[in-house]
Amino acid sequence: MENRRGHTAVLERRIPTNIRVNDSVTAQILAESIREAGQIPYSRFMETSLYGPDGYYNKGKVEFGANNDFTTSPTESELFGASIGQGLWKTWNAIGKPETFDIVEMGAGEGELAADLLRYAKDLHPDFHEAIRYIIVEYGRDLIPRQRKRIGNNPKVSWIQGSAFELPVRNITGAFISNELPDIFPVDLVTRMNGEVRQKYIGIENNEWVEIWDKPSPEVAQHIESFELNIKDVVLEPINISSARFQKEMDQALERGVILTIDYGKNHQVGRTTQGVRYFGPKAHRGERYAEFLYPGEVDITSDVNFKVLEDVARQDGLVTAYSDTQPGLLDQLGIFDIIDDIRKNLGPNPHLSDVIDAGKVIASAIKIVGSKGFSHNYHAQLLLKGVAREAILDSNAKNKTTDEMDERIKKKALFPFRVRDCTSNTVIITSNRGRVNTNPKDGVIMMYPENVPSSVIRSADRNDWSSWDLTNKNVLKMVVEDSGYRID
């Protein structure tokens, strides 16, 4: 037995949660399933909570981005989509520039990745952009309208409402991509008790949820044996059978190209001594156990992904692993710093200050997806190849670097020095278009230090002609910034 915020150790076969079954739609659906079957596997509980008629992803209330339900790399920086697009452009070149290059994205969130990838492809590689056919496979019915709104009326993009592990596409020449998808597939939880493997089931007693630890189902037992998983005492190991099905579906549907999967996880087992899953959303509190019972259908439930399972399935299907390590390392090898160089180059000799500021924001955002200011090093990235040479896509000279090394590279590329704290009287703060002044980097704040700003020829947004300004003079810099429509503090 343990409290809701304490260390978990499975010692008993039946563990009362002391949480009553509430009157929510999801709770009542689950209760009916349990009444019919006596008990249900945790994966069934998780599936109904997330994807049932009134599940978390079908409520229409999930919000992506900073200060919302959860933050993802595409919402942190448009360079994420641009870098993946850069890798797919290299893939397109490597397979002979086919007339049609399919990009199948599964679980597209609010469409940020698709929108950024397509925009950068059009700007940097128009011939590649012309060949793209972008297909979004989305299970959450509420998310498709939001994706359409973000992406706009783009004839290159089409939607299929369906399951990623029952893919409705075949004969793909191009790429399958997903960001933070397998971690929300329903999982079963197993541990070892008294020398025997036990699986978690959910029951109800006296109208309260109960954990029941029983023999593994044949499917779970087969998964453990097939992938040689070592189930340990105390550790709760998530068994993501759907992820293996997901990988096989992609392998069989891909004729030639790449499969890119990015998510929380490791290249080995991912069990935890706490609870095996995590919760996100407005009602989820850090460290709280049993959130799925307290708020059925109202919290996101996730588990880390065992990428070794995906790699084993892919190898059996004839694919080759080109990369399986941290997200920053992959984005580096795909060419994120080449894209930053292109952004700087495309400003030209006499840019509007507003364009410089916008470009500066984009470059600075790299620190959130490959540097120290985000959580990118928690993400694992796996790139699998079919009929493509590794060296045609990845920069073999780019070795994985520490966050400090990445930060230094970003600072060298920055248009202005970016600082989060330690503001002085000489600091000019330029806020986002909402006009708020806030030193939280998630709010898009830029701080320009006049003594370090380049004194090159620059023109402001509201002037028809350009003039040479000495931007090392604080008063002149303020005048030009204000003339560009930004607030000064």
Residue 455 has pLDDT above 70, yes or no: no
Residue 384 and residue 388: Cα distance in Å, rounded? Answer: 9
- Over residues 50-67, the mean pLDDT reads 75
User: Measured at the alpha carbon of residue 446, what is the angle toward residues 441 and 450, in degrees to the nearest 5?
Assistant: 145
The band of 61, judged by pLDDT with boundaries at 50, 70 and 90, is low
pLDDT value at residue 412: 80
- Over residues 311-326, the mean pLDDT reads 97
| 339 CB-near residues (< 8 Å, 6+ apart) | 79, 82, 83, 86, 120, 124
pLDDT digit string, tens, across residues 129-143: 999 999 999 987 788
| 23 CB-near residues (< 8 Å, 6+ apart) | none
pLDDT value at residue 465: 38
How do 196-205 and 40-41 pair as beta strands?
Answer: antiparallel
Q: Annotate 69-122 with DSSP letters as a single string.
A: SB--HHHH-HHHHHHHHHHHHHHHHHTT--S-EEEEEES-TTSHHHHHHHHHHH
Residue 483 and residue 489: Cα distance in Å, rounded? Answer: 14
Residue 82 and residue 130: Cα distance in Å, rounded? Answer: 16
Domains annotated on the chain, with CATH: 14-66+184-248+262-307 (3.40.50.12710), 73-179+319-392 (3.40.50), 416-483 (no CATH)
The band of 463, judged by pLDDT with boundaries at 50, 70 and 90, is very low
- Over residues 256-271, the mean pLDDT reads 93
pLDDT value at residue 420: 31
pLDDT digit string, tens, across residues 167-185: 889 999 999 999 999 999 9
- Over residues 417-427, the mean pLDDT reads 35
pLDDT digit string, tens, across residues 221-244: 999 999 999 999 889 999 999 999
Q: Return the structure tokens found at 130.
A: 């012309």
> Quick one: which of 365, 393, 41 has its CA closest to 220?
41
The H-or-E segment that residue 245 falls in is: helix 241-253
pLDDT digit string, tens, across residues 241-262: 999 999 999 999 999 999 999 9
The H-or-E segment that residue 189 falls in is: strand 188-193
Q: 387: phi > 0 → left, psi -120 to 50 → alpha, else beta; which?
A: left
pTM assigned to the model: 0.84
pLDDT digit string, tens, across residues 364-378: 788 889 987 777 788
pLDDT value at residue 464: 41
pLDDT value at residue 286: 60
Which residue matches tokens 């189902």?
217
Residue 426 has pLDDT above 60, yes or no: no
